[in-house]
Structure formats: structure tokens, C-alpha cells
Structure 1
Amino acid sequence: MHKYYIVSVFALLLNLSAAHAITRDSIGVENHNGKKLIVHQVVAKDTYYSIARRYNVLPKDIMAFNDSKFLQIGVIVKVPTNIPFGTQTVGAAKGTQPATAATSTETGLTEHVVQKKENLNMLAEKYGTTVNEIKRVNNLRTINLQIGQVLQIPGRAAEEQQPTTPVQSAQVPVVQPKKQETPVKTDIPAENRYKKPEETPARKEQQASTNAKQEEFLEHTVASNETIYSIATTYKMTMDQLKAKNNLTDNALHVGQKLLIRGQYPVKSAYAPAAAHPDTLNSIKEPTLRHPASRYGLNQVDEKGTGVWIADADLDPSKMLVLHRTAPIGTVMKITNPMTNRSTFAKVVGKFTENESTKDVIIVMTKAVADALGALDKRFYCNLTYGGQDNEQ
């Protein structure tokens, strides 16, 4: 009779201890098909994602096991894991720490409970493994760890590993007698023996000429649709290097322009202009040639401003025609669009008056001219170059 009484009391104590383990206020452990089932009590700011990160499981597994119940403070959530039920986890009551931070398992892995100020590098060094191996075993996507998180770590702790370096027997070093050095006789003063010989001007000039010959001369002629960026990329240079090499202040280029890529241009001798005769103009025998050079269109006019293309019944949109305020009819102009670096030629067929569509512009053109310049809008910035004429008699 006493035996039955003792057995009944012992079973009651076991049930009470199991119930206490399940209903711990923070973390408890249950056996679920041989796997550990962690019992977690929700605290402030807990979410399924934060709980999953804390116990190193997937949020969807916790939600599926708990039927996606609404989380509020005090609610009990059960966290399924793949850890065998026989091993130690964070199964300590609220405010307590586990007796040991690491416990060996039968699978050859060491179960470690993350402590304060621990990281993966420290754990890898402690257990003689690598960070990537720890992340692979625990399916970690980041290196962030939570205090109390349970990790399965391959290898043994550093204090458990046996030293493998054999103890070398102390050897008495053999001291070799120093050889007596014979001093070298020299006439160079002691203070000048270790000075580097100075380079003479002739040697410097020879070195400069050698360096110049080693750098091959290379010049590039700008073609249509080429820019500073495309040319610099072709020759593996930066835009600043190319501009400094050619003394350019901006990125504007024109077709046919010469750019220095490598080497240097040959030095040109200084130009000495011939002494002007005081009566040069009067010495010309042909009277009709005594007029200024600008009378014959030898001077060049450069203008910059806004251009506009219009559809006018008096202008054939398929022809290269323009209207200008001052240029004589028949003048052929070179028009450049700096945005596309494209140029074309067009003929002046008249003048235009300022109205709402031609306000603040320097030139009016046909659609054919605008298409040749690659214009995207009706009004765009352009450069004009043409021969000026002085009509004064």
C-alpha cells in the first residue's frame, strides 16, 4: 500500500514540474514528436518576425503552428524547432541564465547559447571553425545574433582542443666568430660618401629627350557625333586629362578639330612678321583692290543664341533655308547644335521680323535644317558662323 502511495506522489510531482515548465512566463520547452517546442510568452513590441529571429526559425513556421493568432502582451506562442528534445536550450525561466553556454550533442555539433557581447567571429575562433560554417549549419542569413539564441556549432571549444604543436627541445645556438672586415681605402671625404651624385644639365636634357621619344605622338581628328566623353573613353583617358592636354575650357568640339592624345607637338619657331611698308595700301596698282578686306567677305562673324524652326508656306520645309536679321540674302551659314555636336550648312533667303514665335531668337530655319542638327525641340541653342560683308562704299 505504501508503495502505491509513493508512486502516486512521485507521478503528481512530475506532472506539477512539467506543468510549471510549460507555463513559464517567458520560455518553456515541450516535447513535440521528439523535437523541442519552445513556449514563448509575448512581451511588448514582439512580432512573429522578432520571435523567429530570436529562436532562429522561420516566421511562417511559427504562424502556421499557432494558426496566425493575434499577438498581444501575455499571449503564449509555441515555437517549433528541429532540435532534439534531449538537448539543453534556452529553457531558463525569466531573469535566469542557463548553467552552461555550450552543450555537446550526439550529432557532433555543440549547442551554444549566445551570451552578451558575443558575435560569430568570436564563436568561430572559440570552437575552431569558420563563420560561414556556423551560418550554414544554422541557416543564418545575417551575422546578427540575439542574446539567448541557440546555435549549433561544429567543432570543439578552444579550451578542449589539445595542442598539436610538438614541444621542441631547447637547442644551444652556435655562435659563429665574426670575420674581421678589411677597410676599403677611398679618396672621397666621409661626409660625401653616401650622397647621390648630382645630375648635370646635359644629363637632364638627355633624359628628357629620351622620355619624349618613348612617348609616341598620337593625334585625333574629331568626327561627326563624337564628344569629349567618347574620345576619352576610346583612348582610356579621363575627360579632365583630355581637356588639360589640349587646353580646353569646355566640352564643345567641332568636326575636323585636332586633339592631342599622346606626345607633344613639335616646337615652332617664333614668327617674325615682315616690316609693314608705310605705303602698302597705296602701292597696290589695281585701284579696285584698295578697299578694306572686309569688303570682299574675308572677315568671319560668329553668333550664339536661340534658334527656332517654323512651318511657313513661303519656305520649303524640305530645303536647307534660313531667315536672319542682318545677314545678306544668299549668305551660306554654318549652324552647329552644341547639344548634339552636329553641324550643317544653310542658305539665307530673307529676313524675319520679331513676333510671338520668333521672340529673342537669332535665326529662323526650316524643318530640314532642324532635323540635320538633331534638334529635339522647336527652340534650341545654336552657334552661327558666316562670312560678314561691309557694304560701305
Structure 2
Amino acid sequence: MGALFAQTDSLGIERQGDKVFVIHKVQAQQTLYSLSRRYKTTVSEINKANPVLANGLQIGQTLKIPYGGEVISPDAEVTKQTKEVTHTVKAGETLFAIARKYEVQVSDIKNWNKLPSNAIDLGQKLIIKKDVLVPVEKDTPMVETTSQAETKRINTPDSVKTSEVPFNSAASLPTTKVQPKEEQPEEVNYPGTPFQQFQKEGLAEVIDESEPSNKFFALHRTARKGTVIKVKNLMNDLTVYVRVIGTIPETSENEDIIIKLNQRAYDHLKAVDKRFRVQITYVQ
């Protein structure tokens, strides 16, 4: 289980009964989904604790985020360790997206893996390093048991004994009752992969179409073809459902784009600019 420590955008913690909330200041590129993973909670729990999110996530907002991990006291002794993980590049992933996922810099990933450019290949293994704080384990003081104390007194030479105490081993040794183990229910493994909900906020862009379509469709980085995505315009709260028909091209112009919409979907959302902030939600 992960432990909670102070970070630049985590302003502190607040306790309400047996619940712990992180006071968090929203930074650029952060989303409700990334915050839920970081603080081991869910997007719905964050929304429930912060009614202000009904108007969308904004940079600079201060949120109370319910924390689901282990909380370590601020005065506890800690030490810094470097944690290293291996990331396998998935379809549609970019170096920028991977850096944002692990909250590290693109330049650091390139240095760790000796990459000459931002180009990466499907299935490529990348080393990711991150400094984490872990509690220092303190030595537990030795506690002398009754039997050890009695043995020491019996083996002490007569010349240094201060008094004679009769020793009754049968009476001095404590008896321990062995409680029968409760039978654990047998685990049942069900076949199949559970559905997972994804939610993200970022920039959408309209697709330049040669011929207008009467359907609602989009391009996405990782969602499979045929996936239906809910798109919410964060400027006016209008919503449209689009179907993924392809992948966003991997170009520098598209690096900050999370979804591309066709003209009809763009018009339905009454967007003003070619690029605008949206929240997308889908399940797969």
C-alpha cells in the first residue's frame, strides 16, 4: 500500500472521523482520472467531495480529495529511495503521454533510456525512475520474557545472588490457547476481463473534412475503433456522443490533443475556437 507524503501541489491533509482528505491545488495537465490514481480513490468520490467540480476542473482550484492509501505522520522519519519500473509502449502512446502518466519529464525518460528523439515503437520497453519517500524502520527494543528472566536468575552464581527465589517452572510458564483458524472461503476466479471507465480532460480539435458527414465520429489515441465516447464541452456543459473511427496521427501538432471531432459533433457542442477544452468519458 502506498504512503502519502507532502508534494508541491498537496497543501496538507484534513481528517474527518476515520476519513483522510488531501488538500490539493490543481496544476496544468492534471485530470480527475490522474488525481484519482495518484491518491488511490475514484473520480466519483472526488466529485462527491467537491461540488465545485460541477463546473469542470480548473487550474489553480483547491480540492479536498479522499485518500485511500496509508497516511504517514509528517514528523515520521523518512528516507528517499529511487523506484524503477518498466513501461511497455502501447498502441497510440506518445512519450509526452507516458511522462504525464508517471508525472516525470520527457527529457528524463529520454536520458534514462538513451533515446535520440521523441520517437518510440509499439512494444518498446522504457525504464521509468521516480524518487519516493519511505518510512524508516526503527529497531524494536528487546523485551525480556518471563522465562528468560527466570533462566537468568537461576544461572546467576551464588556469590552475586541477592536473594533466593524458588522457581516453579510449571507455575511460571504462561499457557497459550491456540485458537482454531477460521476457514477462509475459497476464491472463485471468473473468466473474462472487467470493464474499466476512463475519464480525461484536455483539448479537442475539429477535423478538416473534405465532405461533411451526418454522423458523429472522432479520432482517439488509445480507444478501440467502435468505442462510444461521451464528450462534454467544459465552456458550456453541452454534451455529445461520438464513435471512434481511427487513431489521432502522431505529429507534434497533435501532441496536446486528446480527441479530434468531426464537424457535426463540433457544431453540436457549439464550440467557438478550433481547439477547446473538453472532458471525455468512455468504457472499454
**TM-score between both structures, scaled by the size of structure 1:** 0.26
Using CA pairs under 8 Å that are at least 6 residues apart, name the structure with larger relative contact order, 1 or 2: 2
**TM score, norm. by length of structure 2:** 0.35
